[in-house]
Chain A
Amino acid sequence: MNGDPKENADDHSTDEDQNYLWDRTGPPDPMVQHLEEVLGTLHYRGGPPSAAPSAPVIRRLLPRYRVLPFSAAAAVVLAAAGMWLLLRGDGGWELAEVVGSVTVDSDPIGATGRLGPGQWLKTAKDARVRVTVADIGSVLVHPESHLRLLATRAGTEHRLELARGKIEAMIAAPPRLFFVNTPSAIAVDLGCIYTLEVAEDGRGLLEVAFGIVSFERQERESIVPANAACRMGPLVGPGTPYFTDAPEPLKRSLDTYDFQGGGDEALNAVLDQARTRDTLTLWHLLWRATGDQIGRVFDRLAALASPPASVTRQGILGRDQTMLQAWWDELELGWR
């Protein structure tokens, strides 16, 4: 807005009155002073983020239990056929901090290199390399890993395919800009630092250190916050997330439930072992459980963390998305 800076068509205060508002010179305006005192209590008090911040920036999410625009099945097709790639824009990503033998399309690289769209990067035993992901972060590639750059389009999409091995991703970007396809699921970055490991048979593990990752395959989605992990399998896709400090018997029973058709016995064991903090796991089980299992999961979850007033047992048994979101919002506060 330009124009006479001293215009005050909507107010009868004088120029002198407005000086206090402008730069605190002149006689104080009582109303302005009062608002300064009252509103000043809300001023920012935080500190700068560190490279590995301890306070996660967790985004508020509504779980999306619908078919995703880019499914794991499509990712597998692209990877298997080496088909057309979603390419445009940048020529590739820089490679640095090279240790040991690292190749790009079977050509060894020196101290630095570049990974172009469609190219495969391989690290030998005891080798590692850091990949700069456009201008949004980096990925540390561990030994014996095999990955390919699928797409890199500034502001739209950056996508890797991890065929096997382990990566640590540190991404500072808006959500749903960075993706990692694996044989069993897609890790969708929502602003975070995480480790993703994939074995030859497509089984794997996602561990989130900071932020939050959505782990997806078709209609199955696991939302994995900081200090939590989630397994994946070739037939199931993403498993049920759990906090890494959960009791080992709970993790074993969860593994059986998710990937070995564990049924009631495994589910009951998970419910018995669950602590208050394991409401992350139980919330996801509300979606995974079938038949009367859902009621048991609800009862156990409600015993550990009372649902908000807007949430009813009947609604949850009917998988009311608004209620599930409301309960997630409440539970999430306790996970931070």
Chain B
Amino acid sequence: MGSVGDRAAFAGLHERYASMVHGIVLARVPLDEADDLVQEVFLIAMRKLPTLRDPAAIGPWLARITRNVTVRFHRTRARTRRLHRDLAANPNPGRPGEGSPMAEALEALAVIGSLPEAYRETLILRLVEGLSGPQIADRTGHTPGSVRVNLCRGMALLKQRLRTNTRKEQRTHEW
């Protein structure tokens, strides 16, 4: 890993970008796979850091590595893809109880998972990882304008789908 100074610098890098990496991962893979892939991204980044040409572009560089890791993850998986929507739609004995905070979180994540990728990633970075719009733009390298559009349109669509789900559940209970 190099010098102690390098390790400290890398820890700082992790502190600043781990949320971004996790958010990008979570927008593409099941929740229970996300932490492992975050670790993998940073291990790759550790090795590739000497090849980074422009230190100022480290956020977008890390974002690219992250997306590549998720693409490879899906390529190497031979079993059926389990997206968040399947988890929410098919409860099993190991799942959180209906109505519990975790169940609600997973259900919301499932609905976000059904949105277009650009909205999905931005909303997860905002709502799960707690990054503001300017922070998302700064770290991912996207323009503030495009981040704002994705947030606003994504949230509008998310609200619409959550309302639709709520009405469906109410009708189910009425039956």
Contact = CB atoms under 8 A, between A and B. Distances in A.
Interface of A: 1-11, 13, 18, 21-24, 31-32, 35-36, 38-44, 46-51, 53, 55, 57-62, 64, 135-137, 172-176, 191, 325
Given A49-B42, A59-B76, A62-B78, A21 B126 contact: yes
B95 interface: no
B46 A172 contact: yes
A9 B46 CA distance: 43
A41 B159 CA distance: 19
A46 B18 contact: yes
Contacts of B69: 174
Contacts of A39: 105, 108-109, 124, 127-128
Given A2-B146, A11-B152, A32-B155, A44 B129 contact: yes
A39 to B, nearest CB: 4
Interface string B55-83: 00000000000000100110011110000
A4 B144 CA distance: 11
B168 interface: no
Given A1-B146, A135-B48, A173-B44, A38 B105 contact: yes
B88 interface: no
A41 B77 contact: no
A137 to B, nearest CB: 6
DSSP class of B's interface residues: helix, strand, loop or mixed? helix
A22 B44 contact: no
Interface of B: 1, 7, 10-11, 14-15, 18-19, 21-23, 26, 31, 33-40, 42-44, 46-48, 50-51, 69, 72-73, 76-79, 101-102, 104-105, 108-109, 118, 124, 126-130, 132-134, 143-146, 148-153, 155-160, 162
Contacts of A191: 40, 43
Contacts of A137: 47
A47 B152 CA distance: 31
A96 to B, nearest CB: 12
The 7 closest A-B pairs by CB, nearest first: A44-B22, A11-B156, A62-B78, A48-B14, A172-B43, A5-B145, A10-B156
A62 B69 CA distance: 18
16 contacts: A2-B146, A3-B149, A8-B153, A9-B153, A21-B152, A38-B108, A39-B109, A39-B127, A41-B101, A43-B22, A43-B129, A44-B129, A51-B1, A55-B39, A57-B39, A135-B50
B77 to A, nearest CB: 6
Contact of A62 (B44, B77, B162): B77
B10 to A, nearest CB: 7
A48 B11 contact: yes
Contact of B133 (A21, A62, A175, A325): A21
Given A43-B128, A44-B129, A48-B10, 16 more contacts: A5-B148, A7-B149, A8-B153, A10-B160, A22-B148, A23-B132, A31-B159, A35-B127, A35-B158, A39-B127, A40-B130, A42-B26, A44-B18, A50-B1, A173-B47, A175-B76
A41 B105 contact: yes
A34 to B, nearest CB: 9
A60 to B, nearest CB: 6
Contacts of A60: 33, 77, 79
B138 to A, nearest CB: 12
B109 A42 contact: yes
Contacts of A1: 118, 146, 149-150, 153
A21 B151 contact: yes
Contact of B72 (A18, A23, A58, A174): A174
